[in-house]
Structure 1
C-alpha cells in the first residue's frame, strides 16, 4: 500500500475513508505510516500473513531492532481456518484488512487506551453508550484506566479469562493481557448479564495487546524491560458499524464485487434465498483473496499456499455453478475487485495481467473436470448413502480434481459425512503404486534426507559435461532399493552430477550413466530442493547403491537447450527494446527442440513487430556477443540493472548471465558462451494465452532447419492437392473460403426460416394460465440461435405470457430457452433462475436476464421430463 499522505479527504464512513482516517489519526500521534507487507510472510512458520502484527513479530520477539518507535499500518491478511463460515456468518472472511498501531518500547497502556477511545468516539463518532470494553481478569491497571481516565461505566467493563484476553507468541516468550472494544447494536437491552459472545448484539472491532511479560519454560511471568503495544482494528467490521449494514458483505468494501457476480448470474442479491446469498458472499470474499494472493506472487499448486489459492479459486467456480453460471466468469468479478481496491493497493492494477492469467488458467483447468466430477458425485448422492466412502472421495480427488474439502462441503450440504480415514488409506495406496517419473517426492517419502545420508547434489554442469559419481540412493517401484536390475525404471541420486535438473523453464538434461557392464539411460532430471533426481531406465547390468558410475550428458541435447535458453534472453531484450519497455516475463519453456516465452503485454503484437523482434534477435546472434556469467550479491545485481522474474525467490547470492549491451538477467540455467553459437532464430507463433499475457513460440539453431523442412513439405502437399503453384495457394484458398462462407450463410438462413415456420405452427399449442399465455414445446433439432429467435418471436405474438422451448441440436446435447413478459416477471419469475433450474434436470445449467435466458444440458433423454417440469412450474406460479 502507498505510504504517501492522503490526498482528497474521503467520507469517514466509507471503507477508504475509515482506512485513511485511522492512518492519519496515528500519524498525527507520531506514528510512521508503513506499507502493508506481502501476504507471503518472512516468517517461515506460517504460510500467509494472518495478522497485522506478523511483520513485526521479530521486533516483538527481540530478534530485530525496530526502525521507528511507533508505526501504523493497514495490513492485508488471509485466514482460512474458518473457511466453512465464510458467507454464513456476518463477518467471517478469508481476506480482510487489519488497521493497527504499534509501539516498540515507546508508549504503553495509558496512551493506547486513550487514543483508541478518542479515535472511536471523536473521529468515528461512535456513541459511548454503544461501546463496551473487555479486559483480562487480572489486569487491574487496564480496568482502572478505562474506569477512571476514560470514564467507562464499571458495568460496561467486562473481565475475561486468559483464553479470550491474553496474547502469547507461543509456549514461551513475550506475552501480555488484551483489552478489546465492542460495539453494542442494542444498548437498550441494558447492562445486566452482558454476554459478549452474543454476536447478534455485540461485535468486537478493536483489540489492544499490552505486551508486558516474558513467559519462561516453567510458565513464570517476568516483566519485560521494553513493553510493547500491538493493536488491531478490523476495517470490514468498522465499515459495517459506520455504514449501518447487517453484515460486512454489504459494505462498500465487498458489495460491489458481489453485485458484479449477481449480474453475471442474472439474480438480484436482495430477492434470492439464503443459500444463493451465501454463494454470492463466498464469491465476493474469495475473489478479493485470490486477486491479492496472485498479486503477491503466489501461484496455484497442490502444496502450501499454492494449494490454498487453488482451493479458493475452485470454491469460487463451484459457487458460481450453484448460482447457474456456466463457463468462465472469475475474471469479470476480479476486475471489479481490482477496481475497488487499486487506490489502496495499486499493485493490483500493475499486476492485472498476471492475476487474470492465473485465474483464467486455473478456472479453465477446473471446469474441464468439474462437470464429470459433479456428475459422479450426483450419482453417489442419488443412492442416498449414509456416508461417502473413502474410495469414492479419492476417485473424485484423483480423477476429477475435487479437493477432499470440497467433497466434504457438498456432502455436508446434503446431510452426509465423508470417510476421511478411508480417503487417506486410498491416498497412501496410490502413493505406493505410483511410478510416474515426475513423482520424485516419493523417494523422500521413505524417510528424511538425513536418514538417507544425503544433504544435496553437487552440480558440476556449468563447466563439466561428464563426472565420476557415486550412487547414493535408488527408487524403484515406489520404494527405495539397494539394487535395480536391467529393465527397471528408476529414480536415483548421485553425490555429484553434470546433469542439469529442470528449473527456470529449462528442461532437465538427458544422457547415460555407465559402469562395469552397466548402462543406465537418463531421460529426465528433476530437482527437489538441493537434491537432483535422475529419472531413467537400467538398460544393461545391475545398478546398486554405492556404485561408482561415469555420468555423461547428451551433448547435442545440451547444446540445443542452452541455445534456446540464451535465445529467450535475447527475445525478452528485443521485446523490451522494440515493443514496450515495461514487458516482463510471465513464464517460459526451454526444450531441446523449441522455446516458449510468455510475457505481460496488454495487446497483440503486429506482424511488423514480430518480424522486427525476430530480426533484432538474429542481428545480436550475428554480432557474436560473448556471455559473462558471474555470481554476486543480489543487491549488486539489481544495482547493475539485472532483470529478475517477478515472484521468483532469490537468495543473497545470485547468478547473473550477461550478454553485454544486449541482456542481463538473474538466471540459473545453462547458456551458450557466445550468441553466435545459437546460429539462427525463427518465431513460429505469437498469440494471447490470457488477459494481458502473450506467448511467443520459436525455434533456434538446428531446429530451424527441421521446422522449415516440415513447412516446405506441407506446401508441396497443398500444391499437389489444389493443383496450384506455391505462390498461388493463398488466392486459391481465399476463393474457397469465400464460397464456403456463402454456402454457410444460405444454410443458416434456411435453418432460421425453418425454425420460424415451426414456431408459427406452435402458436396454437399455447395454453391460457390465469391471465397469461404459456407455451412449452420441444422444437426437435433446431440450433441454439434459431431457438432464441423462435422464442422471442413467439412471445411477441403471444403478448403477456411465458415461452419455454427446448431442442436437441447435436448428439446428446440439449438447448433450452425461456422468454418472460414483464407481467410474468412481476409475479416473481426470473427467466435466468428459472431456466437454470430446468437445465439441471438435463445435467447442465445456464442463466441470463430476468426476461430472457438460455441454458444447455448434456442428457437429451431428460428433455421431455424437463419440459414437463417447466410447464408444471409455470402453471403453479401463474394460476
Structure 2
C-alpha cells in the first residue's frame, strides 16, 4: 500500500488535486480510463451527500459522467464501532480502455478496480451511534502499489508484472519437471497449477517480510496457517517435501532487499524459523492426520476443514461433540479460539457443518472483552478510583523520579522525595485524612517508587509524615495516576491530613537487586539471540531474588553446554565495566536502529521510548524498556543460571541470579560437590552396607530440589553434574552389591533347604518360600533360587520396588495329573495376587512356570503374602503324593 497521512495540514481539495496530478501528469495515465466516486449520503446516520468532494472533482476537470455517488458501504470509512470516521473518495481504473463502463463500478470486476482511496476523517462516531463533527480534520490516503504497477506496465493482472516474475522464475528453477507459469485463470486453469503458483509466490513474499519484521508464527496463527498452506502446496503441487519455501525466500530477498534492507539483514533468522515451522508441520501431519481422518469418517461434513492448518481441531471436536445442546455459546466459542486456536471462520464452518447455533456477534464481544481484561493490570477498584480522579481533575502523578539515581564513590544513591498528599480514598470514597491503623489508597503529587511493569515487580516503600508513617503494601499505575495502597502507623495517634507533606522512600537494597536482575535479563536475551539465532522473548519476571526469562528458540534446543557459554559470555560483559546507557527516542528512530530486540506484538509509543543500550567490543544489547537498570555492568557483580526447563516444543524457561545470590549459588554448588566426592571415596569401604550408602545418596539428592528464591539454590550446571555423580554412585553401589546380594539368595535358599527337613507338614517334602533378600535387589533372578531345589517341588516369591514375582518348579518324578507347576502356582499364589501364569519359552509349563509380574501396594503386601503362602502349602498337602 502506498499511503500517507495529513493531520490538519491539508484537506479535501489538496488531497484530490495532488492525487489526480500524480496519476495523470506524473504517471501520464489516460484520464479516459479513470473514474472517481464520492459519498452519496446516509439517511440513517443523518449525513448529507459529500457535494463538496463532487464539486472538487468537477473543478479539477473530471468529466461529469465519471463522478459517481455511492453509499456508506463503499464510500464511508470507520475505524471501529466508535471513534474517528468519515466519507471517502475513490479513484477507479478500467484496464480494458476508455469505453464508458460506469454501471460496472464497484461490481467486483477484476479489470475495473479501485486504485486509490482518500479518506476524509471529519467525524467521530459515539458509543450511542450518533455522529459528531471533529474539531480538526485529517486525511488518510492509500493507493494499491501492485495495481499501479500493473497499470503502468500495461498488464491486466498484478501477477503479470515484474513484481512476481522473479519469484515465478525461482519456483520453476527449484521445482524441476513442473510446467512453467502460464498466467491462466478460472476454467482455463483446470488443474489449479497457475493458481498455486500465485498462492505460493504471494504467500512466500508475505512470509519472508513478516519474519524479517519479527513476527513469530507461534504467536501469530494467521502467519502460521499461511506457512502451512505453502508447505502443503509445496508437497502436493510442486512435489517438494522440504525446503521449497526456504529456497524461495532467497528470491524474495533478492527482489525486495534493496527496498527493505531488513530482509537481507535477517535472512539467517528467516531461514531458521522456516526450517523450524516446516519440522513442526511434518510432525503434526504425522500425528494428527490419521486421527482427523477417523473423525472425517464419522463426520464427513467436516471434510472441508484442513487439520494441518488448524491442528487444534481434533481436541476441539471432542469438546464440541460433548455439547449437551446444539449451541456454541460466545463463551464456548472463545474457548475454542483461545484454547484450541480455532479462528472465527473455522468455528463458523464447524457450526454450519454440524448444524450448531453460533452467536457470532457474541463471540466477537467475548474476544474484545478478553483484550480489555488483558490490558487491565490493576483491579476494577482502581478504575473506579481513576474515574473519581478524572472527575475531580486531579493532576497526573509526576512519575519520572523513579529513574533519578546516581553513583557516588562506587555506591548507588537513591534520594528520598518530598511529596504532597493530594487524595485519600477508602472504600471508593474520598476522605480528608488517614487515621492511624487505617488501610486506604493515597495519591501523591510525585512518585519515585517503581510500579510493576515490563516484568519488574514494584518497589517496597513508605511515606514518612510528621505524624506517622504510611507503609505501602502495593502500588499501581492507573493511566498516569500512581495509587499507593497501605496502612498508617503513628506513635502519637494523630491522623495525617490531605495536603500534608512527607518523604517518600523505598527499600534501596530491594531496588538495587531488581535493577541488577533486570539488566541481567537484557544481557541474557541478547546472549541467547547471539548464540541461537532465531529467538523470541515470551515473558520475563524480575524480582530482587531472581529473574525468570521464558524464550522461544526456533532451532536446536538449549543444552547445558549452551548455558555454560551464555554464563561465561555474560560474566565477561559484566567484568568489562561497560556503561549501561538509557536513551529516550521516538518510534521512528527505534525502527532505524540496528540490532534492537523488540517483543513481538508489543505496541510502542510514538515518543518517549526508553532504550537500554549496552555496547561492548564483541557484545551489544539494545532493548526498549520502562524498567530500572544499573548504570554499569560491573554493578551486576556475578551472573549464574539456577533453573532450566522446557515448556513445550520451542519454549525454554530460565531462572538466574546475580550479585550475592549468584555467589551463594556457587558456594552451595562447591560444598555439594565436595560432599558427593567424599561419599564417592567411601563406597568401596562400605559396600557391605548398601542401604546406608543408598540413604546417603538419597539425602544428597534432596539438595537438588529447591525453590528459586530459597538459600539452597545451585548453578544449574553444577546441579546436573551432581545428579550424574550421584546416579553414578548408585550404579556403583548396585553393581558392587549385585554379586553379594545374589550370594544372599544362595545362602538364604541353602538355609531353607536345611530347615525344610523338620518344617514340612507330614512326610510330604516341598518348599514355599518368600525370598526376604529380594527387597534389596532391582531385579530378582528367581531361577537362581529354584535351581538349588532340583529334587523337590518349590515355589519362590519375591517383592522388589512394589512388584511381586513368583516361580514354581516341580521335578518330573513329582508331577501328576492333579499336581504340577502350572496348576500349583495358578491355583494358589497367582490367584491370590490376581495375576496369570505361563511357562518359559521352550520349557514344559507343568515342570517350570512363572507368574506374571504384578504391582502390589505396600500396605496390602503382608496380608496377600500370608494368604498366598498358606494357599500354596494347603494345595501341596492336598495334591502332592
Q: Which bin holds the TM-score, normalised by the shorter protein?
A: 0.3 to 0.5
Scaled by the length of structure 1, the TM-score of the pair is 0.46
TM-score computed with the length of structure 2 as normaliser: 0.46
Bigger Cα Rg: 2
